[in-house]
Chain A
Amino acid sequence: MNLTLRVWRQEAAGTEGRMVTYPANDISPEMSFLEMLDVVNERLNDDGKEPIAFDSDCREGICGMCSLMINGQPHGPMKGTATCQLHMRTFQDGDTIVIEPWRAKAFPVVRDLVVDRSAFDRVIEAGGFISVSTGGVPDANEILIPKDTADTSMDAASCIGCGACVAACPNASAMLFTAAKVTHLGVLPQGKLERHRRALNLVAQMDIEGFGGCTNYGECHAACPKEIPLDTIARLNRDYLLASVSSPEI
């Protein structure tokens, strides 16, 4: 199949960027979207043009590295898939495909389609963990955990930290990502104890990083490759509310 790509090119952070058009001819429908870009890059290299920079690593939808805005949808049109799991058979011969980086103040562009998501790491560093050090912990079966609790936790824990929620949100809000972590740890007996501190600290950092607020649009959930449920956001709101009323300093 033959396609036309409109791709965002930008030398480096802070420099001016622009959309550039490239042909992508005789592409096989079996290819993954990123393999299609590999081919385009190979050809650019042959013509002495610098290849398009984009992030990817595992190429099987688990590392969260790939991050492309495809035709105005993070990770493209398919539900519950990351960019690297998208295949060309979902496009039509002759299509024009618009490819952009995640756009958010908190995710500055590094080059072309590559952005800096270290804001997410700083949110986790602010309290996205259970405060135990190595050693001196009880036996794994000492504390029983109801299966459905473990499942709820696992549903939230499957977040791959890709940032599509931020990219999709009209407010560039990081609520779904933050809520997923708060839920993953907060429902488990091991993580409950720190639940309130965690909510306060994560939200504080989230705001510092310059993400927007949540208007409950629901775009994040629709774009999320792991389909993290919106309930997690309600849970974060509740934990935050409870933490605030119960916190000593008023």
Chain B
Amino acid sequence: MTGVGRFYGSTIGKKIVMAVSGVVWVGYVVVHMSGNLLAYVGPSAINDWAAFLKSTLPLLWGTRILLVVALVVHIHAAYSLKQLDRLSRPVEYAKLQHPASTLASRAMGWGGVLLLVFLVYHILELTVGVVHPAFSHTDVYGNLVSYLSTWWIGLFYLVAMVALAGHLYHGVWSMFQTVGVTNPRYDRLRRTVATLVAIVVPVGFASIPLAILFGLMR
């Protein structure tokens, strides 16, 4: 097996692919979250921003394609690694302790799955607009307020953000290890960056459904 094939065929290769595709998504959620905060400025602000994003088609579709590709390989790599990991220990321990690993790290799989479910629903609801009868392609703000004010939808969003927080908390730290940042000098920096991202992004996102649920945004 040569080059690319061998690389993606190996556990480390897959892992590196996950890290890179992960970064793409990390970048996206940071931007996306910031964009969402415009909702506080007012309906027009976020709507204009959305309009601007959709105005330049190359940018729009370029990003969408990049995101989809990244997500597909990310999930494929994650899935095949998990399969491998399951096979690698046919007989389970009667007693096993996890003194070192974080809950977040062990929740990557299920957290990821939850994120996937969320994404699919999320896009159908707010981008494609097939979930609810009333959907406006221009009034993003209106969509948000009308949908998320339903308590269980809002709650679902909040739960997804918890999953995201966990995923980022381990993921962003883990990325550095995966791409081979060895210098111990940066060990603490890695942890800090990951923790910050894992707090700021989900909280930023979550603030909106919360604001809507508590009627601060209408």
Of chain B, the residue at the smallest CB distance from A232 is: B182
Does B122 interact with chain A (Cβ within 8 Å)?
no
* Residues in chain B near residue A237, CB distance under 8 A: 12, 15-16, 177-180
Complex formed: what's the CA distance from A231 to B182 in Å? 5
Using A231-B182, A239-B180 as known contacts, say yes or no to A170 and B94 having CB atoms under 8 A apart: no
Total A-B residue pairs with C-beta atoms closer than 8 Å? 146
Does B181 interact with chain A (Cβ within 8 Å)?
yes
Complex formed: what's the CA distance from A236 to B184 in Å? 15
Whether B179 lies near A171 (C-beta < 8 A) is no
Of A69-77, A81-89, A135-143, the one contacting chain B is: A69-77
Residues of chain A in range 96-112 having any CB-CB distance to chain B below 8 Å: 98, 100, 103-106
Whether A241 lies near B16 (C-beta < 8 A) is yes
Complex formed: what's the CA distance from A71 to B98 in Å? 11
Whether B12 lies near A240 (C-beta < 8 A) is yes
Does B10 interact with chain A (Cβ within 8 Å)?
yes
* Residues in chain A near residue B180, CB distance under 8 A: 234-239, 241
Of B1-9, B127-135, B138-146, B208-216, the one contacting chain A is: B1-9
Of B31-39, B83-91, B158-166, the one contacting chain A is: B83-91
- CB B58 to nearest CB in A, in angstroms, measures 29
Whether B94 lies near A98 (C-beta < 8 A) is yes
* Residues in chain B near residue A73, CB distance under 8 A: 97, 99
* Residues in chain A near residue B81, CB distance under 8 A: 212-213, 215
Complex formed: what's the CA distance from A173 to B92 in Å? 15
Select which of B11, B90, B97, B100 is within 8 A of A213 by beta carbon.
B11
Secondary structure at the B interface, as helix, strand, loop or mixed, is helix
- CB A240 to nearest CB in B, in angstroms, measures 5
| A104, A211, A214, A236 interface centre (most CB from chain B within 10 Å) | A214
Of A38-46, A51-59, A217-225, the one contacting chain B is: A217-225
- CB A130 to nearest CB in B, in angstroms, measures 21
Whether A172 lies near B177 (C-beta < 8 A) is no
Whether A103 lies near B91 (C-beta < 8 A) is yes
* Residues in chain A near residue B105, CB distance under 8 A: 215-218
- CB B92 to nearest CB in A, in angstroms, measures 7
Q: How large is the interface on A (under 10, 10 to 19, 20 to 34, 35 or more residues)?
A: 35 or more
Using A203-B11, A249-B2 as known contacts, say yes or no to A171 and B176 having CB atoms under 8 A apart: no
Contact bitstring A180-207, B, C-beta under 8 A = 1, else 0: 0000000000000000000010011011
Whether B85 lies near A230 (C-beta < 8 A) is no
Select which of B4, B85, B95, B174 is within 8 A of A216 by beta carbon.
B174
- CB B17 to nearest CB in A, in angstroms, measures 11
Of chain B, the residue at the smallest CB distance from A172 is: B88
* Residues in chain B near residue A223, CB distance under 8 A: 100
Select which of B2, B89, B96 is within 8 A of A250 by beta carbon.
B2
Complex formed: what's the CA distance from A6 to B95 in Å? 11
| B12, B85, B90, B180 interface centre (most CB from chain A within 10 Å) | B12
Whether A249 lies near B92 (C-beta < 8 A) is no
B residues near A (Cβ < 8 Å) are: 2-4, 6-7, 9-16, 81, 84-85, 87-101, 105-106, 108, 170, 173-174, 176-182, 184
Known: A172-B88, A213-B84, A239-B180. 19 other contacts (CB 8 A): A19-B94, A71-B97, A72-B97, A98-B94, A103-B89, A105-B90, A171-B88, A172-B89, A207-B11, A213-B81, A214-B15, A216-B173, A217-B105, A217-B106, A221-B100, A222-B100, A230-B177, A233-B177, A241-B16
